[in-house]
Structure 1
Amino acid sequence: MSDLTTNNIMNDFLDDYDVKKISKGEILKGKVIEVNDKEAVVNVNYAFDGLISKQELSLDDKSPSEVLKIDDEIDVYVISPNDGEGYVELSLIKVLAIKEREEIKKAFEEEKNIVVYVKEEIRGGLLAYYGNIRVFIPASLASRNMIDLKTLVNNDLEVKIIELDFRNNKVVASRKIIEVEEYQINKKALWNSLKEGEKRTGVVKKLVKYGAFVDIGGIEGLIHISDLSWNRVNKPEEIVKENDKVEVYIGSIDLSKERLSLILKDVNKEPWTLHENEIKEGNIFDGKVIRLTSFGAFVQIFEGVEGLVHISEITDDNIAKPSDILEVNQNIKVKVLNFNKNDKKLALSIKDVNESNKEYLKYVDEEDGVSLGELFKDFKFE
């Protein structure tokens, strides 16, 4: 019997019993009454039950039992009111595709995010699915950061549709745009939470001649070379290296220009403050020459505390430059001439210490008319 004859018989049957008619493309509600390896049978409240083949259940070639179970209530798409064997030919894929298209279109128009399943890495990016709809994610839009695309495969991913053309089966999405939006929101919140003087944990990202850039959780700040240590630093790598985890203090904050200065040295251990009560005019200290200039020598008397010995205070002898008699890292004694606490300036003298020593030796040597040589003439040094 031909299909045409069969259809005519069915139509006569439906007319005789005044049963509702269904049409191709119609969407019906149904209830699953049977599932096997090849198909699913659905009651659609019609004279005949509906049949969904395995191919119309899933694009992933899943077994019908993986997709549906008995008593599931679903919407189905009518492919044909009569499959030639007494069933209504139905499709789950097509009805889902209609719904999914509507959802994607709405998300695109309202600029809302959707969740897709990343199926595989392909040339130029990632192939993902929103239900049964293919979605392409270009490699450049897969993340705000440089990542290995393989880490996203077989995972759900929240994206935003940026291009939609169903006629040409073109659906393009971006994960990067979401991450950029989140980054901007988090960055703004972080900027607003910053307070000068508070302590933060960060990671050294880059070293430059004048300091180190540190990320404190989405914001990068600069530790100037002078703020790496209380001691003199010639280059940042003497103190830190890239990827070091560091504890820093918030320095100055410029919200309008989004500039942040950080401090690595402990602000609570500022050397000048720690030692200011020990430094008094006339005191003599053991020091170390840390730098020589044409006009004098800088001498450190405590870590982070240094003063200037002017060339005229080095010796009474006539010298052309400090390096004539001094060298860097040389240990010497110095006398405090002047201490300005507010400006943290310290004037020192070497020659005054030597003169004091000469006067003391002369005093001891001449006391009671007995010289040091005479006092120790019979003493043997071993």
Structure 2
Amino acid sequence: MSNEFNQNQNNEEIPSMEEILAESVEVKIGDTVTGEVLSIDDNQVIVGIEGAGVEGVIPFKELSATPIDSITDVVNIGDTLELVVIKQIKEKENGSFLLSRRRIEAKKVWAELEAKAENGEVITVPVKSVVKGGLVVDAGVRGFIPASMVEDFFVDDFSPYKGQELEVKIVEIEPSENRLILSHKEIAAEKRKAERAEKLGSFNEGDKVTGTVARLANFGAFIDLGGIDGLVHISQIAQAHVNHPSDILSEGQEVEALVLAVDEERGRISLSIKALQPGPWENIEEKAPKGAELEGTVRRLVDFGAFVEVFPGVEGLVHISQISHEHIATPADKLTEGQTIQVKVLDVDPENERLSLSIKALEEAPEVDASAAQSAPREERRQNKPRKQNNNRRNTTSNTTSDEESGFTFGDLLGDQLKDFDFGDDNE
């Protein structure tokens, strides 16, 4: 039996070295090979390249495309690995070729990223570092987000982004150049738009809201209502006239306002601060009763009088006939806009928000010299009767407009001075 075994063993052909070398796979740089893990140390892994009869070395940094703490986190002795040949090692103490497992993983990652880019998919990546010009991220391979593509608004300091995870879209990909450009800007804009629409829908006309003055403009103030701004037009800041919003408001100031309108289509909220303030004409009869003497400012001059502001938002009219005891052609003869004057309240109409004022009521009327007219001889007056009658007719006519404007008649002005005057008999 032993002889038979030895005979069979002798009959088996033992391959020569030449035959073994002929059957060996030729290993070239860039080839993908299979290797079995033979040994592991702190810095590298030794593998036997199948079909080549040679060994290769995998440096620690070429083991994984993602960060690892220990080699055994990804490989162990006896594992079979798919590897790519990086270069040939001339000193063959630790193997004949330098191999990489990381680059095999990267090839798969690049292929997956190209498919996602083609489909317009969104991917989530951690920010690894902040560099000049943008953010470096880990997408399985190194990716870069330019500063202009991080947000849809200007960012001065990117340091808070380190360690964050961002949703991004692939803008440009070129595996042969290890080039991967990503953008978070569009996603941030879409997210902000959706959040804004949701917040906008939570406001209704007539709501009372509290916000902070975000910024001031010539035409009004923008109020931050918690991630969404509302506009208070300059005409809605205060009951009184406002020259510029900064006269009343300051940035950072907390204010209460009333929602006037919500325009969801245009994404706008119109607010009013003055709507929550007491009206300037409220209790006007108590603040400006008939006969009261007030101080005011001339705001406007018109042909028929002057508008005087006596309280913020409350203007009264001084008719031209109530400006002076003297006859004046226009209010500008006596007054100027911006002038501070004293006035007396003649009448109050809260329902129609009207206030009639007088300046001359606070001034002493000049004395009328009536003795000169009565000292002339009666006969002279009779002789001049026709002329005086004509003059009376002419003066009556010429004073019609003045009487209408002033609100006083000719008879009111002369009173009882004419009741005993003899104009003679027209039939004489």
TM-score of Structure 1 vs Structure 2, range by shorter chain: 0.5 to 0.7
Q: Deviations over 1:170-204 (max 9, x none)?
A: 32211211211112111211221222342131333
Query: TM-score under structure 2 normalisation?
Result: 0.61
Give the counterpart letter for 1:354 in structure 2: L
- Cα distance in 1 for partners of 2:153, 2:38 equals 46
| Partner residue in 2 for 1:25 | 32
Give the counterpart letter for 2:191 in structure 1: E
Aligned pair in 2 of structure 1 residues 254, 126: CA closer, same or farther (>3 Å)?
closer
Aligned pair in 2 of structure 1 residues 230, 89: CA closer, same or farther (>3 Å)?
same
2:243 matches 1:234: yes
**Secondary structure class of the residue paired with 1:161:** strand
Give the counterpart letter for 1:72 in structure 2: D
Spell out the pairing of 1:279-298 with structure 2 (5 A cutoff).
282=290, 284-294=292-302, 295-298=304-307
2:316 matches 1:310: no
State the 1:88 CA deviation.
9.8
- Cα distance in 2 for partners of 1:7, 1:228 equals 98
| Partner residue in 1 for 2:377 | none
- Cα distance in 2 for partners of 1:234, 1:190 equals 32
- Cα distance in 2 for partners of 1:93, 1:164 equals 19
| Partner residue in 1 for 2:208 | 198
Kept after mapping to 1: 8 A contact 2:169/2:182: yes
| Partner residue in 2 for 1:138 | 146
RMSD value over aligned CA atoms? 4.4
Q: Deviations over 1:276-304 (max 9, x none)?
A: 56368735252312413124333334333
Kept after mapping to 1: 8 A contact 2:317/2:355: yes
- Cα distance in 2 for partners of 1:166, 1:70 equals 27
2:255 matches 1:254: no
| Partner residue in 2 for 1:275 | 283
**Looking at CA atoms only, which structure, 1 or 2, has the larger radius of gyration?**
2
- Cα distance in 1 for partners of 2:344, 2:174 equals 82
Q: Deviations over 1:229-276 (max 9, x none)?
A: 2222122332235x44342422222223334322233x3322336425
Aligned pair in 2 of structure 1 residues 349, 180: CA closer, same or farther (>3 Å)?
same
Kept after mapping to 2: 8 A contact 1:76/1:91: no
Give the counterpart letter for 1:78 in structure 2: L
The one of 173, 179, 182 aligned to 1:164: 173
Which consecutive aligned stretches of 4+ in structure 1 deviate over 6 angstroms post-superposition?
9-12, 30-33, 41-44, 47-50, 86-89
Aligned pair in 2 of structure 1 residues 280, 127: CA closer, same or farther (>3 Å)?
closer
Aligned pair in 2 of structure 1 residues 211, 311: CA closer, same or farther (>3 Å)?
farther
- Cα distance in 2 for partners of 1:278, 1:25 equals 97
**Secondary structure class of the residue paired with 2:182:** strand
State the 1:315 CA deviation.
3.5
Give the counterpart letter for 1:121 in structure 2: V
Give the counterpart letter for 2:349 in structure 1: F
2:103 matches 1:94: yes
Q: Deviations over 1:73-110 (max 9, x none)?
A: 45953236x99768997534124313432443354324
| Partner residue in 2 for 1:112 | 122
Q: Deviations over 1:41-96 (max 9, x none)?
A: 6899xx99985313413689xxxxx724265245953236x997689975341243
The gaps in structure 2 that reach 5 residues or longer are 1-16, 25-30, 366-428
**Secondary structure class of the residue paired with 1:184:** helix
Spell out the pairing of 1:173-188 with structure 2 (5 A cutoff).
173-188=182-197
**Secondary structure class of the residue paired with 2:286:** coil
| Partner residue in 2 for 1:54 | 60
Kept after mapping to 2: 8 A contact 1:203/1:215: yes
- Cα distance in 1 for partners of 2:348, 2:128 equals 73
- Cα distance in 2 for partners of 1:68, 1:231 equals 70
Aligned pair in 2 of structure 1 residues 280, 147: CA closer, same or farther (>3 Å)?
closer
Give the counterpart letter for 1:334 in structure 2: K
Aligned pair in 2 of structure 1 residues 289, 132: CA closer, same or farther (>3 Å)?
same
Aligned pair in 2 of structure 1 residues 172, 131: CA closer, same or farther (>3 Å)?
closer
**Secondary structure class of the residue paired with 2:191:** helix
Q: Deviations over 1:297-323 (max 9, x none)?
A: 333343333322232333343223334
State the 1:111 CA deviation.
2.1
- Cα distance in 1 for partners of 2:138, 2:124 equals 8
**Secondary structure class of the residue paired with 1:312:** helix
Kept after mapping to 1: 8 A contact 2:240/2:312: yes
The gaps in structure 1 that reach 5 residues or longer are 13-23, 61-65, 359-382
Kept after mapping to 1: 8 A contact 2:346/2:356: yes
* 301-310 vs 137-146, greater mean Cα deviation: 301-310
- Cα distance in 1 for partners of 2:200, 2:98 equals 61
Give the counterpart letter for 1:143 in structure 2: E
| Partner residue in 2 for 1:67 | 68
Percent identity of the aligned residues? 25
The one of 331, 335, 350 aligned to 2:358: 350
Spell out the pairing of 1:368-379 with structure 2 (5 A cutoff).
none
Aligned pair in 2 of structure 1 residues 212, 101: CA closer, same or farther (>3 Å)?
same
Query: TM-score under structure 1 normalisation?
Result: 0.67
Kept after mapping to 1: 8 A contact 2:84/2:104: no
